[in-house]
Amino acid sequence: MVFSSLLFMFRFLPILLLLYFIAPKKLKNGLLFLASLVFYAWGEPVYVVLMIFSTLVDFFHGNRVEKCIEAGNKKKAKKYVISSVIINLCLLGFFKYTDFILTNINSIFGADIPLLKLPLPIGISFYTFQTMSYTIDIYRGEAKAQKNIISFGAYVAMFPQLIAGPIVRYQTVAEELVDRKVTQDGFADGIMRFMTGLGKKVLLANNIGMLWDTISASNMAEVSVLTAWLGAVCYAFQIYFDFSGYSDMAIGLGRMLGFHFPENFLHPYESRSITEFWRRWHVTLGTWFREYVYIPLGGNRKGIKRHFFNIFVVWCLTGIWHGASWNFGLWGLYFAIILVAEKLFLLKVLAKIPRVFSHIYTLLLVLISWVIFAFDNLTSGLHYLKAMFGGYGNVFVNNNFLYQISNHWVILLILIIGSTSIPVWLAKKWKLERFTILKLIFIVVIFLLSVAYLVDASYNPFLYFRF
């Protein structure tokens, strides 16, 4: 279903852009809303009703909250906020976690409750967070309620970032929903950003993902230690270039339509601590949990014990948000423990040691975390981690590892450089933004290579579509 939605976007995007630019200003949001619903319905025909329901619910709640506040009845306004949050969380919980809960009930109590086996609505984890933040921000006085249901629908269903983020708070695009301009330079930058994301996903993430698939499917008792670590590195690159690639495509499409979406990745693999890593990775999710969970719980303002409790709550929720599986909860707990340790003493230690060692520390912990994240089956993940540390008596290096390195060293080198700020630094140093012909060549080459690969490759959706 996701794949058909992507095909729809690539086939009809030029037509949509043409209609969008020739449409009168007052019709642009309506066209965007309609196109977004059609895009979503193309892959999820039934769940488009859920999207419309969510739009209507939060539009109504947002306006009621604002009217109550204007009338000086903040207590009633708070009830509407609570109502909005409950409805959104119930939608998310029902579709995403019901079968997980039932499976565990059956396992613990020996019951035989049938599972619903409902397909997960695409992007529900993202757009429910966006609509919740809308009502909360109105209550806080940080945003004004949108009076036009079509404009609000365009915000909720906006297809560029609908299904995998970035998570865009309403106040970020509120003014642009009313008045936005598409300049020639902005449109060109949007195309460049979109093609960069497309290349990240199709040419880099997909290719290194095949090596990860090969290694992760191996008998863990037979792989070498370095092969297991190589696999973890491959998955780390796959998920980064896959997810940041989608974010780039979304940001680029937004620019083409006159919107400025927030950045979602800030070269996270350059980090020197896990604390820094999570300021750079999936920035909009981290911002959401900080603004709507961590700070309301008290943040670091209510003593050290409450501070650490808040960190554990946020990270358990962050893990569960990613999926209905115990490995995600463990993944969140893993980072909570590390972040607490850094707050207690590790950050002071890391600040005193050479940068290279703090960087290695961070990357090693991140690689371990991605193995936990990658396997829905906890046992499989533990087997893989065991192989990484020679738990099966694994040899340190073997011919298979040398073979894989000799066949993939070029793409690994590209991935290493591409995951850093070096390309951006070189572009600025050489002032490549002035050479529009080079941009054009880059766009054409990436497009042709990506199309050629997609025609020849099998179905390979974005990793974060499952969240």
DSSP letter, residue 431? T
Burial 263-293 (b: 16+ CB within 10 A, else e): ebbebbbbbbbbbbbbebbbbbbbbbbebbe
CB 404 within 8 A of CB 154: no
**What's the half-sphere exposure (Cβ side, CA atoms, 13 Å) at 409?**
5
Nearest to 114 by CA among 92, 137, 98: 98
Whole-number Cα distances in Å, 270 to 218, 267, 286, 346, 425? 30, 6, 18, 18, 14
Q: Are 90 and 131 in contact (CB under 8 A)?
A: no
Q: What is the DSSP letter of 261?
A: P
User: Is-catalytic flag, 322?
Assistant: yes
Catalytic residue among 61, 260, 322, 383: 322
Integer Cα distance of 338 and 340 in angstroms: 5
Helical H runs in 110-179? Answer: 124-140, 149-157, 170-178
Whether the Cβ atoms of residue 284 and residue 167 lie closer than 8 Å to each other: yes
Give the catalytic positions in this structure. 322
